[in-house]
Structure 1
Amino acid sequence: MTNASPSLAPAAPSSAPSTPRPAPAPSPSPFQFFTVEVLRAERITPAMARIVLGGPDLARMASAGRDQRVKLFLPRPGQSEPVMPDMRAADWYGAWRALDPAVRGIMRTYTLRELRREPDELVIDFALHTDSGDASGPASRWAGAAAPGDRIRVLAPVEEENAGYDFRPPDGTDWILLTADESALPAVAGILGTLPPATPARIWIEVHDPADRQELPTQADAHITWLVRNASPTTPDAIRAAALPEGTPYAWVAGEAATVKAVRRHLVADRGFDRRAVKFSGYWRRGASEDNLMEAAENA
């Protein structure tokens, strides 16, 4: 990503890798709504669509890179843009929920792939394959058919330091472990793009097909293992068989919920990782869409 990460130390001399440092506490609510439209849409791999968005006020949008999350609001079939409440409302979520569910804009959570400058552009990558619980849902369908001029809304930060990302290695971290599938691949790309030079990093990424692998530019000392679903060991099994670096680790584990849980259990129970040094996030759950998960949480 283009924005440098404030939680990472400046590059150390070449004789020693720099170590990620903790970020300051996030501001309470540095988020605003943006109206954006599709500038370009391309298929970067068979399972990934890249949508480049523009808008007159994107200069106000900010990001610290890493796994920066935003909320997308997409139109329903037959709508030219999503139906939204007054976006200036203090309780925008309550106002959105009060709208007719069959009409209101479809809300989904995505990770920024990049926030570009000169010109200002917002880049979002959408996983399209059918393994994801939401792959055949409205977000994938919208991305697969997106064309220049299509309009959506985005809830995004206006301050680089915000509560919308989780990758926060504490002071004293010696090396980084990352795991992901297609759903978390944009986040891994953002994290790798902001790691200081020579930071030791070990990464496992599971994809649907070998053609879904991507170039992931980084200055870190990154060793990336690509796993092909149903043709390679699973992510937990691959990590179990791996020799890991010495020193104090920090792990960021994301993707399908059951896989994330298995990796976390192995790192803590078998490898002795400090629980506080394992940040884990189920980006999706097999057989469930984000609507299902939100409804379950609301009814709990």
Structure 2
Amino acid sequence: MNSLPIWLLHVSRTERITPHMARVTLTGDDLRGFSLTEPDQQVKLYFPRPGQSRPLLPEVDGTTDLMSWYQAFNAVPEDERPWMRSYTIRAHDPATDSLTFDFVLHRHAGPATRWAMAAEVGDCLGVFGPSAYFARPKPLSASLAEADWVLLAGDDTALPGMATILESLPAGKRALVLAEVQEAADEQPFRTAADLTTTWLHRGAAEPGQSEALADALRAASLPEGEGFAWIAGEAGLVRRMRRHLVDDRSMPKSRIEFSGCWRLKLTQDDAPTPEDLAEAQERLAEAQAQTS
């Protein structure tokens, strides 16, 4: 058995669920016995380079540790090394040993969009996680359970995480969703037992990350009384501005806000972190230390 949750899975199904989102289901023997215990569970996906039938990943055995694996991964020549992107598991089906991921089909296609648009049954993808190495200091499910109400706000990239959170909420839990997509045809139905109010925002011809519709909707939103919990995801700069609004203007404690910059305007995960990224990482580390102390 591998010491790290790193495996190669194969496409078993693809479908276009909206004009700008594709759903890909992956399966493999390594998923036998796998269980998904938390909503918004993120993993790393590894995409093969052109001409490769599978992503070129270092071997893993029962003694491989994370540091040595990453050293071996970084030693792969750059033009052969797989592209890595972070994604949320949309669904897990233990009956078929499969994981499902939703891919936003960006106008300016990067490696993930290109792969998802061309994916066919049998294609191979690398997956790392879920892993305790990337676990939250406090389980998301615990934060959701403690809150009187839940606010979920984000762009297209946040929809898979939103959906898993909403599916985890109990009957009667008050939930508000602010979701930005390109057009009405990109809206998706949410399945939940919660008392849900959804506001869809359409950016139209505006480039992703350059619309203020989501931030404006949050500033205008009437939030319920009681102890709330906010989950914000999307373009990193926009997420930071929305979080500052909740903290500075709504007096929401930072401990009751989960935020994730899923992507960066004009930058990818292959690019070096910006000063803002580093400051955010330091703040996350400080919050994590505070929660565990």
The TM-score normalised by the length of structure 1 is 0.82
Residue segments in structure 1 that go unaligned for 5+ positions in a row: 1-29
Structure-to-structure mapping, 1:164-183, within 5 angstroms: 167=140, 168-169=142-143, 172-183=146-157
Structure-2 separation of matches of 1:293 and 1:44: 33
Residue segments in structure 2 that go unaligned for 5+ positions in a row: 206-210, 282-293
Structure with greater proportional helix content: 2
**Residue equivalent to 1:64:** 37
Structure-2 separation of matches of 1:218 and 1:74: 32
**Residue equivalent to 2:242:** 263
2:102 is aligned, of 125, 135, 160, to 125
- Aligned residue identity for 2:13: R
2:8 is aligned, of 1, 14, 35, to 35
Shift of 1:36: 0.8
Q: Establish whether residue 283 from structure 1 lines up as the match of residue 256 from structure 2.
A: no
Deviations 1:126-176 (A, max 9, x none): 00122xxxx5111110010000010112112378x9716973517642111
**Residue equivalent to 1:47:** 20
Structure-to-structure mapping, 1:210-289, within 5 angstroms: 210-230=184-204, 234-289=213-268
Identity fraction in percent: 43
Deviations 1:196-223 (A, max 9, x none): 1111011101001111111110111111
The TM-score normalised by the length of structure 2 is 0.83
**Residue equivalent to 2:168:** 194
- Aligned residue identity for 2:259: F
Structure-1 separation of matches of 2:130 and 2:267: 28
How many residue pairs get aligned? The number is: 266
Shift of 1:60: 3.0
Deviations 1:19-47 (A, max 9, x none): xxxxxxxxxxx851122100011111011
CA RMSD of aligned residues (A): 2.6
Structure-2 separation of matches of 1:162 and 1:221: 31
Q: Is the 8 A contact 1:45 1:212 kept in 2?
A: yes
Q: Is the 8 A contact 1:54 1:121 kept in 2?
A: yes
- Aligned residue identity for 2:254: R
Q: Is the 8 A contact 1:129 1:208 kept in 2?
A: no
Which structure is higher in RCO with an 8 Å CA cutoff and minimum separation 6? 1
